[in-house]
Structure 1
Amino acid sequence: MAKSKVITKKQQKKQQQGGSLRRKETAQDQSYTVPQLIEQAHNLLAQQHFEQAIRKLDHALALEPENREARELAGIAECEEGDVEKGRAHLQQLISQPAAESTQPPASASPYLYLAQTALSPQEALQHYESALQVLQRRLESMTSGATAAATGNEGMSGIAQEQGEEETEQEVRKECVMALVAMVEIWMSDLCFEPDAPTQCNTLISRALHISPDDPDALLTLASIRMSESNPREAAEIVVRVADAVLRVAERLEMKADELEKVQAQLQAQVDADADFTLDESETTDLELPPMQTRYLVTRLLLEHSDFVRALKMVDTIRGEDDEDVEGCYLEGWGWYCRGKALEDGVASAETETGDEGTVRVEECYMEALGSLMECQSLHAQQSHPDEGILAHVNELVAELEGKGVKVDVGDDDDDEGEDGEGDVEMS
């Protein structure tokens, strides 16, 4: 009982300190202007300090209830903090209240996107996504007209576009459009899949996405999913391979650039040491970028689904190279090697067709690689308390199956224990 009282007193003291801190913060806020409060809220949101940001924005709205930026940020902050109902109320008020200039919509698509993601029905979500697209497409048109005006010397027309361009590039806006359209397709393929016009809607929406960004990987992968739903696996596989090859080309070029940059930096250091003039051409580094991890997970899974194991494992290499402790990447590596070995064992694939950069592989080698990756995945899953129990259940199932086949992995304390062929850490009984 004594211990319980001590804890209670500590908790009370902590609550009192928190209350005192909030009162102090509130008193400080009284001296700030609304623009200052909004700027502070932006910084707090960027750091995911949602509760503090909400307090700043509540004070800003108390001073200026019609401030649209403060209202939008408050809605977003409340949604992120977990009070979706309150956040939606802010955003609904924002899109329903008249703007300063006639029927001008919100300056950003964020209110519509958040309302779509928290919608109470698929129809409501589709409506908000369409509204978001209208805002984004107007922004694209403004950027395009701004670029044209700049080229012709008409700076008056390009002023707004230039100002927006400082915050967001045209490519980023195109990506937002694509993601909204992809989300709409997913609604038609899931919640509304039994509607008679679902196939037509899916094809129309993905055509819009590809018109905006023809080579966008997420749009192309969605098109592949549509083709699979239409029982057209051949075209779906071709699309997935197209995306995979594009990503792998970027990965190869990035690796080459990294090697070149390392050589140039070594030359630079040598020149500096020799007191000579030498400068690094920044254009040589380029701005190539791989798609997000989630996109590469999906590409890998689709490649495995289409039995393209060599490409799938190359895609996994881009994930593991970026983060060698990524649980899902490690799982996909193990699953990929298992599927490759299983196809060879069942005669679905031959050793000749399953030839990659490492040469012809055997069933035993595939299973050894698989077990090593899957056991590593078990370890990483436990260390990180990873929330996806489905991955762990599948990994445990595969490990049990491989061990039942007599596959073994010897984990040595150091790499010096490996055999001459470099596979001293694995064996198959």
Structure 2
Amino acid sequence: MSSVNYTVEDLKPRILQNIEDLEYKAAYKFCKKALELEPKNATVLEMMGQVELELGYYESARKHLLESIQLEPNAGYSKYMYLGQMSVAKDAIEAFQKGVDLMVIERNKLPADSEDSKVIASKISSALCSMTELYLTDLCFEPEAEQKCEEYTKHALEVDPNNSEVYQTLASVRLSQQRQDEARQALTTAMELWIHKDLGDPAIPIYESRLNLVKLLLEVGMFDHAFTVLENLQKENEEVVDLWYLYGWTYYCLGDEDDRSPEDKTTLWADARDCLETAVRVK
């Protein structure tokens, strides 16, 4: 079947299926065909931007997302989320905020206890976490940084109190404020929301997020909790350099405690060395 026989409506489901299957190169080809037919189709421009972002074509992805936004600025929150990921500082905040505003409007149209409402609530809270992280990093010297962190995390907790990412982000905020006890409490809550769930449960954060959780747990001295998360990660995928580095760092921190006997220190530091050597091999 030649490309001239396709309509954009024919191509859209093919693009979506390829995206779902992570077949981004195939999706890219279908997007190109669709844009040849309708170069001002906002939905296809957004799809193309998403696909190009996944393929690493960042300049072109930004161009297509901005075109989609220009055509339909008040429809479709996802394009603002993608643009936020690609932007920095205040530009990223602006993109995320517009996406959040659109998601709130969409959520308000749904029954409060519906699954669709819960999905959007999770996306809103995650976007607010991303905005908080920006004020903890790129924008940390802005005069409103602490106020914004408090505002965003409070809103995220109100929208989705069962999102572990929110408590993990809150812990980062509390650590930046040197409120370690509250950071520990937030990290404990974050873990409790998923640690006993079966592998594959959607409540379980992505692998990278759990690695970051371990770093926070180590920062506040919650070594047993760190081992629990690391063991969980190891069962899922043990061929990850950071996993073994963090294992090694956890053993080292335990051996560095003042109340350890010389024998314990020697054993723990030997374990740390073994883990770090594994990290080198995995790499």
Give the whole-Å Cα distance in 2 for the aligned partners of 1:337 and 1:145: 46
3-state SS of paired residue (2:111) = helix
1:81-140 residue CA offsets vs partner (Å, 9 max, x unmatched): 333232222222222225xxxx8x22x322111222222x52221111011101222232
Q: 1:194 aligns with which of 119, 141, 155?
A: 141
Task: Tell which structure's C-alpha radius of gyration is larger.
Answer: 1
- Residue 11 (structure 2) aligns with: 37
The one-letter code of the counterpart of 2:141 is F
1:112 equivalent to 2:80? Answer: yes
Distance 2:184 2:201 in 1: 29
Residue aligning to 2:59: 85
1: CA distance, partners of 2:194 / 2:71: 44
Query: Alignment partner for residue 293 of structure 1, among 204, 207, 220?
Result: 207
Contiguous gaps of at least 5 residues in structure 1: 1-26, 148-164, 256-285, 352-360, 382-429
Question: Which of 101, 106, 121 in structure 2 is aligned with 1:174?
Answer: 121
* Cα offset, 1:47, TM superposition: 4.3
- Separation (CA, whole Å) in 1 of partners of 2:249 and 2:223: 10
The worse-fitting range, judged by mean Cα deviation, of 81-90 and 296-305 is 81-90
Q: In the alignment, which residue of structure 2 is the partner of 1:134?
A: 101
C-alpha distance in 1, partners of 2:45/2:99? 17
Counterpart-to-counterpart distance in 2, 1:208 and 1:32? 45
Q: 1:225 to 1:145 in 2, by over 3 A?
A: closer
- Residue 56 of structure 1 and its aligned partner are, at CA, apart by 2.2
Aligned to 1:279: none
% identical aligned pairs: 25
Deviations 1:309-349 (A, max 9, x none): 12211221111122232322222122211211121xxx2x4
What corresponds to 1:375 in structure 2? Answer: 277
**Which moves more between the two structures, 304-313 or 233-242?**
233-242
Q: Distance in 2 between matches of 1:114 and 1:302?
A: 27
Quickly say closer, same or farther: Cα 1:183–1:374, change in 2 above 3 A: same
- 2:266 corresponds in structure 1 to 364
- TM norm structure 1: 0.60
Question: Displacement, 1:209?
Answer: 0.6
Say if 1:241 and 1:303, in contact at 8 Å, map to a contact too.
Answer: no
Provide, for residues 163-185 of structure 1, a one-character-per-residue CA deviation record: whole Å limited to 9, x for no partner.
xx6xxx43332221122111111
**Preserved CA contact (<8 Å) 2:255 2:264:** yes
Cα RMSD for the two superposed structures: 2.6
Runs of at least 5 residues in structure 2 that lack an aligned partner in the other structure: none
Q: Which residue of 2 aligns with 1:341?
A: 255
Residue 93 of structure 1 aligns to a residue whose secondary structure is helix
Aligned-partner Cα distance in 1 for 2:202–2:81 = 28
Q: For 1:379 and 1:58, how far apart are their aligned partners in 2?
A: 42
- The 3 A distance-change label for structure 1 pair 235 and 289 is closer
Aligned to 1:331: 245
Structure 2 contact 124–156 (Cα < 8 Å) conserved:
yes
Q: Give the structure 2 partner of residue 56 of structure 1.
A: 30
Tell me the residue number matched to 2:236: 322
Partners of 2:227 and 2:247 within 8 A in 1: yes
Q: Could you say if the C-alpha distance between residues 323 and 82 of structure 1 is closer, same or farther in structure 2, counting changes exceeding 3 Å?
A: closer
Q: Which runs of 4+ in 1 moved over 6 A?
A: none
Confirm whether residue 211 of structure 1 aligns to residue 178 of structure 2: no
Alignment length (residue pairs): 282
Distance 1:195 1:135, change over 3 A: same
The separation in 1 between residues aligned to 2:17 and 2:202, in whole angstroms, is 28
Partner Cα distance (1:219, 1:56) in 2: 37
Which amino acid in the other structure matches residue 378 of structure 1?
A: V
- 2:238 and 2:28 map into 1 onto residues whose CA distance is 37
Q: Residue in 1 aligned with 2:223?
A: 309
The match for 2:46 is 72
Residues 35-70 of structure 1 deviation map (CA, whole Å, 9 limit, x = unaligned): 112222223334444444333223323323443321
Q: Is the 8 A contact 2:41 2:68 kept in 1?
A: no
Contact 1:331-1:373 at 8 Å conserved across structures: yes
Give 1:220 shift: 0.9
Are 1:29 and 1:56, in contact at CA under 8 Å, matched by a contact in 2? no
Q: Which amino acid aligns with 1:55?
A: K
Separation of aligned partners in 1, 2:194 and 2:264: 27
TM superposition shift of 1:350 = 5.0
Q: CA deviation at 1:143?
A: 2.6
Inter-CA distance 127–144: structure 2 relative to 1 (3 Å threshold): same
The CA distance in 2 between the partners of 1:225 and 1:288, in whole Å, is 23
Q: Supply the distance in 1 between the matched residues of 2:189 and 2:32 (Cα, whole angstroms).
A: 49
2:112 & 2:229 partners in 1: Cα distance? 39
Q: Tell me how far apart the structure 1 counterparts of residues 181 and 112 of structure 2 sit (CA, whole Å).
A: 41
SS in 2 for 1:61: helix
| Distance in 2 separating the partners of 1:142 and 1:330 | 46
